[in-house]
A and B are shown apart, each in its own frame.
Chain A
């Protein structure tokens, strides 16, 4: 799509608190949440969650443990059905979609507790990400018709290409469950990317990585955004990573957004320092 083409205005005006990066400012956001919320029993795990994410934005979601960050991802991907509010993906309400349909509509994710297909090979894990773009059916597979060979070949090449983002081609034949922790996290990202999302959700992608691995991951996240031209929303506790690559950040505390802004604004925000950043500094001492 060329840059001059404008989307027809179909959205409610974007509240000024929601950050859209400069280059996306003339376009509608890829994701917009309005008054999103969920209750577990009596507990409101997430409430009044409003956010807009630009089409090629790298956005961060931070906050103390138990703040509800993962729950937000589960709401966006419909692992949980929201109790309140609206999710607009590229202007389309995902109200009636289930998890699989949301993925087909354009949201892919990784998990805080890694969820790979452990008994399958690395390559098969990526091919499962490609599942909906591989075009042959059950009978063509059983009878090994030409469609099977053709599509499997394309899928193999595509899988290798995607694995090459993290230089993981040599691991293609290995069982996913036998990979070291860092490689498993990277494979999850590749698998999510394979499903051709327009919004990629990363839940603590740097957890358990050493500083050099984290630095490499930061580069790769930016590279992925630039190559694929997609939006990325990430949850992360590593402030170097968050402040280094995120263009917009939202801070969650007790299920509520307490601040939104650029990394500079967030770092200077007294409420954020009080609720989160300050505590982290103390922990570090």
Chain B
């Protein structure tokens, strides 16, 4: 029995990994043969970031069953942390791109996780939709806080000013010769050495998938889903609710931080207002349309719904009409059980439906 069941969800998981890798190979081949336009190539890294955002948000919304309206806030923390890490390493002589990318994403993830933890302490012990309200506020506050930051780096290290009253300027950072300003308040991060690459993005997606999918199919993930399905029953079998809510929420925040770091390193100029409520909602749309708890659904929804508006620019007035139609099609396919069984996935779910007793 076990081997059959293991095969079932392992099959879906591996199909998801394989799908990402195949897509990577196809895109890389098309790119090297000049089949992709410049604007499309420019979308590759952001797509990877948003796919990771969708997968990580699905952990909170689909698996834990809590609504988060500030996921972009964690992305923003990761983005600016990542830019600072990467630029600081560069100024101090570390040129290796993979090393800087890794450090930026890793530390970006840790910073986002710390913020997730701090938010989680008061909120996750409460019942009800408090997380939605608090994350909503958090996303907006983080954006404003980053706008107040002046950060520079020189050989002596980081110089940080929290410019809350707007009276300080870059010269107050007192950077030594050869120093560089990384974040200029409302202007955001400027002069970033753009090292993000499609390859790094795909690796990020795969790492996020391995973490989330393996977590779901372990003791920890079971406990998280049990809380989602029935909190009182979960408590009644001795599961510490707050601990598992925290694990899910912090993991989700950390992955968003890593995605943000990659995103931040894709643009030489980046403003904090990019990580606003609209971005949070966009990620939520990917998750809901892709199917709650359905990771490959999140991936498809993120790719299609991110690329479409960009590619449809040429169509002018018909753009939003087609966008709306595709939105509905994505929702119907990723959420329909026929399509799921067709895709060879969740076939267990299908067979379960027809059960009668004994």
Residues on A lying within 8 angstroms of B by beta carbon are: 77, 79, 98-101, 103-104, 108-109, 111, 115-121, 123-124, 127-129, 131-132, 134, 136-138, 140-144, 148, 151-153, 155-156, 160, 169, 171-175, 178-180, 182-183, 191-192, 194-195
Q: Is the interface of A mostly helix, strand, loop or mixed?
A: helix
Question: CB < 8 Å: which of B215, B235, B293 contacts A141?
Answer: B215
Beyond A128-B237, A141-B214, A141-B219, 15 extra complex contacts between A and B, CB < 8 Å: A100-B239, A100-B240, A103-B236, A128-B239, A129-B237, A132-B239, A138-B247, A142-B214, A144-B214, A155-B219, A173-B4, A175-B348, A178-B353, A183-B357, A195-B237
Query: Which chain B residues border A127 with CB–CB below 8 Å?
Result: 219, 222
B38 within 8 A of A: no
B127 within 8 A of A: no
Query: Which chain A residues border B240 with CB–CB below 8 Å?
Result: 100
What's the Cα separation between A128 and B225 when bound, in Å?
10
What's the Cα separation between A216 and B216 when bound, in Å?
36
What's the Cα separation between A137 and B210 when bound, in Å?
16
What's the Cα separation between A195 and B239 when bound, in Å?
10
Query: Which chain B residues border A103 with CB–CB below 8 Å?
Result: 235-238
Query: Which chain B residues border A121 with CB–CB below 8 Å?
Result: 5, 348
Query: Which chain A residues border B132 with CB–CB below 8 Å?
Result: none
- Subset of 7 A-B contacts with CB under 8 Å: A116-B233, A119-B228, A120-B226, A128-B234, A152-B218, A156-B2, A173-B4
B171 within 8 A of A: no
CB distance from B237 to the nearest CB of A (A): 5
CB distance from B27 to the nearest CB of A (A): 28
Q: Is the interface of B mostly helix, strand, loop or mixed?
A: helix
What's the Cα separation between A17 and B222 when bound, in Å?
44
Query: Which chain A residues border B214 with CB–CB below 8 Å?
Result: 141-144
B172 within 8 A of A: no
B220 within 8 A of A: yes
CB distance from A199 to the nearest CB of B (A): 13
CB distance from B139 to the nearest CB of A (A): 26
Q: Tell me if A131 and B233 are in contact (CB < 8 A).
A: no
B223 within 8 A of A: yes
CB distance from B239 to the nearest CB of A (A): 6
CB distance from A143 to the nearest CB of B (A): 7
Question: CB < 8 Å: which of A77, A128, A182, A194 contacts B357?
Answer: A182
Q: Tell me if A131 and B215 are in contact (CB < 8 A).
A: no
Please tell me the size bucket of the interface on B. Answer: 35 or more
Q: Residue on B with the closest CB to A128? A: B226
What's the Cα separation between A100 and B227 when bound, in Å?
12
B328 within 8 A of A: no
What's the Cα separation between A183 and B356 when bound, in Å?
10
B331 within 8 A of A: no
B156 within 8 A of A: no
Q: Tell me if A148 and B229 are in contact (CB < 8 A).
A: no
Most chain-A Cβ atoms within 10 A of its Cβ — which of B1, B215, B229, B357? B229
B43 within 8 A of A: no
Query: Which chain B residues border A173 with CB–CB below 8 Å?
Result: 1, 4-5, 8, 348, 352
Q: Residue on B with the closest CB to A110? A: B236
In the complex where A100-B241, A142-B211 touch, is A124 in contact with B222 (Cβ < 8 A)?
A: yes
Q: Tell me if A195 and B229 are in contact (CB < 8 A).
A: no
Question: CB < 8 Å: which of A140, A143, A156, A195 contacts B238?
Answer: A195
CB distance from A53 to the nearest CB of B (A): 19
Query: Which chain B residues border A144 with CB–CB below 8 Å?
Result: 214
Query: Which chain B residues border A195 with CB–CB below 8 Å?
Result: 237-238
Q: Tell me if A119 and B238 are in contact (CB < 8 A).
A: no
Question: CB < 8 Å: which of A160, A183, A191 contacts B237?
Answer: A191
B18 within 8 A of A: no
What's the Cα separation between A73 and B225 when bound, in Å?
25
What's the Cα separation between A118 and B348 when bound, in Å?
14
B96 within 8 A of A: no
Q: Tell me if A178 and B355 are in contact (CB < 8 A).
A: yes
